[in-house]
Amino acid sequence: MPGFDGTGPQRRGPMTGGRRGSCNARQPAGRPPRSAGAAAVTPGLSRDSELALLHQQAERLKRDQQEVEARINKLTGGM
């Protein structure tokens, strides 16, 4: 992430770089993922920018949870 300011490679927000960075929750084996509750703290980030990042993170976590639940349902036959 250029500048390490939470804006992504094209300054359009996190996760806009193809999910290949260290902020990706689905990292390959051998690279421990960040804790789900761990938000990156960036010095100098404005309140509004931090709120926007937290909202984006919350939405991403909701989508991830839906994907996990869908996979569980598929594997258990919807039990």
pTM of the predicted model as reported, rounded to 2 decimal places: 0.45
pLDDT < 70 positions in the chain: 1-4, 14-42, 79
In tens, the pLDDT along 8-19 reads 777 777 666 666
Domain parsing of the chain, residue ranges: 46-79
CA dist 76 → 62, 64, 65 (Å): 21, 18, 16
CA distance 79 to 67: 16
